[in-house]
Amino acid sequence: MRSPRRCSRNGCPRQAVATLTYVYNESTAVVGPLAAFAEPHTYDLCEQHARSLTAPRGWDVVRHEGEFEPPPPTTDDLVALAEAVREAARPVQRAEEIDVDLPGGHQTGRRGHLRVIPPAH
């Protein structure tokens, strides 16, 4: 399952709810709702950092005026979670329980990382 995206600010452990993009040729920083996918040259921000962002002198900040909300879980997340639960519930056959019958009535077995090999005739 994908982990939620975190704020790009150093040391901030909060979940991202906004995306910061710079438009260099217009000297503008744009803070909007969280983008669907993490893109290069954009920054994910938590609500506190999205609301308190300032731009360098001479730059404008265009900020989303609505509420910043975390994205809802996607169907990919739900499918991955269901598969992880199914995998965890599946019984595991231990290596010590695996035996293979060989011709001549001999058996090989595994115990941990060792293998029993029958004598050669």
pLDDT along the chain (121 residues), means of 10: 77 93 92 87 93 92 80 65 74 56 57 66 64
What's phi and psi for 85, nearest 5 deg? -65, -40
Q: What is the pTM for the complete model shown?
A: 0.55
How far is Cα 47 from Cα 31, in angstroms, rounded to an integer? 10
Under DSSP, the state recorded for 112 is T
Q: Are 60 and 29 in contact (CB under 8 A)?
A: yes
